[in-house]
Amino acid sequence: MAAKIVLGLLCGLALGFVLQRGRFCVVGAYRDVILVKDNRMFIAVLIAIAVQSIGVYALAGLGLIQLSEVPFTWLGATLGGFIFGLGIVLAGGCATGTWYRAGEGLLGSWIALFAYMLGTVATKWGVLKPASDALTGQKSEDVFIYTTLGISPWVLVALFAVLVGLIVWRHLRQPSFAVPTLKRRKTGLAHLLFEKRWHPFVTALIVGVIAIAAWPMSEATGRMFGLGITTPSGNLLRYITTGDIKFLDWAVFLVIGIALGSYVAAKGSGEFRWRLPDIKTIRNNFFGGLFMGFGASIAGGCTIGNGLVNTSLFTWQGWVATLFIILGTWVATYFVIIRGKRKANSGAAPSQSVAV
Amino acid sequence: MKKHLQVIGMVCPFPLVEAESAIRELAPGQELIIDFDCTQATESLPRWAVKNGHQVVSFEQTDDAQWQITIRKGAAG
């Protein structure tokens, strides 16, 4: 138990800290591609996947970690991914995003998080289990994309790394513009850790390294997988409501660590405050959280489990689910944000603004 | 004329969405003052402003997890 607690919290603290300081937001990455035509954060997510895929296949090649086979349940991956994508827009954050915003003191994220846990438990082990069983019953024989193609995993790892490298190079070659930053008040390490803006690509590299380190840390405690958010979020609620310590694994301490790490980062940078959104946002956060729990449970993972880890393993499940999470994000962004914006613009001036 | 936008309590991306529609009602050279408390907007608001040809006149932290940014509308926007 001590190893689970120490290794899980350690990994979570590091991840939560980095996510908060780097403003690393996967739903924002998907959403902003269509909302503000900005794909910098999307490229950052690709970097994290590429880094992790190199590290994980290197560790597996050296026999240091064992890769688990993730079955391809195509109906669950497509439908679940899509519903999860709708959910994260409503909840205002993906799985890790919700955990780290809870650490920043956003009460809306606490509500989303609770609904996410509830949706997960209901789908995986509760009243919605029959629906989940029906949707995930259709399994394909193919697990890894490279075994279907009959090639070595390294072909895909290398191709993907080169592709991401090219995209990054093209992006960095664009003429840059100076974005004004806040006045500098700290020096040295304090400035670097608690004040400086982190470039999303640097953040992504660190997230990739943490995602690699998660594998041996988790496997040392007997859990044969890398980062995961949905199942442990559900297990935390199961532990709280039953008191049964069998639900406490490495990943439960990982998610607790994410909230704590984000709290430390936010507190240290003067960015922590309990904040309450308006009623409409709270409603969206709650239903978004339920959608997230249901969607991620039948898709076999969230933006981390599928979007970051299963993609880096080059499993069908990972890439198909991620594609449908992105689609869900775009559909929800269109209906909730873009159309709402048009409606507001055609009416009177927004009520929040006053001339001074 | 200056316009003041209060988006305290709004989570991303809504501060940015509100800023976009608010700045549309201004003439070039006029300023938009935004009070916000969404941490991620400390990155997205100045980036959006500069990318769209506006000028950031001032940007400061006013309290724990609370910021104010003043944006002068550019000629193109």
pLDDT in tens, chain B (77 residues): 789 999 988 888 889 999 998 999 999 999 999 999 999 899 899 999 998 999 999 999 999 999 999 999 998 64
The nearest CA of chain A is from the CA of B23 a distance in Å of 11
Which of A352, A354, A356 to probe the B interface (max B CBs under 10 A)? A352
Q: Which residue of A has its CA nearest to B47?
A: A179
The nearest CA of chain A is from the CA of B70 a distance in Å of 11
Give the CA angle between residues A5, A6, A7 to the nearest 5°.
Answer: 100
Q: Output the pLDDT for position A320.
A: 97
A340 SS3 class: helix
Residues of A in contact with B46 (CB under 8 A): 179-181
Which residues make Cβ contacts (< 8 Å) with residue B75, sequence separation at least 6? B28, B53
Verify whether the Cβ–Cβ distance A276 to B10 is below 8 Å: no
- pLDDT, one tens digit per residue, over A20-78 is 999 998 999 999 999 988 899 999 999 999 999 999 999 999 999 999 888 999 999 99
Verify whether the Cβ–Cβ distance B42 to A105 is below 8 Å: no
Q: How many CA atoms lie within 13 A of A24 on its CB side?
A: 34
- In which residue are the tokens 């004040």 written? A195
Q: Which residue of A has its CA nearest to B24?
A: A345
- pLDDT, one tens digit per residue, over A206-265 is 999 999 999 999 999 999 999 999 999 999 999 999 999 999 999 999 999 999 999 999
Note if B38 is an active site residue. no
- CB A94, CB A112: distance < 8 Å: no
Verify whether the Cβ–Cβ distance A36 to B16 is below 8 Å: yes
**Whole-number Å distance between alpha carbons of A297 and A76:** 9
* A152 secondary structure, DSSP code: -
- pLDDT, one tens digit per residue, over A176-203 is 778 888 888 899 999 999 999 899 999 9
**Whole-number Å distance between alpha carbons of B73 and A135:** 51
- CB A33, CB A39: distance < 8 Å: yes
Which residues make Cβ contacts (< 8 Å) with residue A333, sequence separation at least 6? A31, A34, A35, A89
Which of A20, A25, A32, A36 to probe the B interface (max B CBs under 10 A)? A36
Which of B3, B10, B12, B68 is an active site residue?
A: B12
Give A128 or A70, the one with higher predicted confidence.
A128
ipTM of the complex: 0.89
Amino acid at A90: L
pTM of the entire structure?
A: 0.93
Q: Work out the percent of chain A whose per-residue pLDDT is above 90.
A: 83
* Cα-to-chain-centroid distance, residue A148: 27
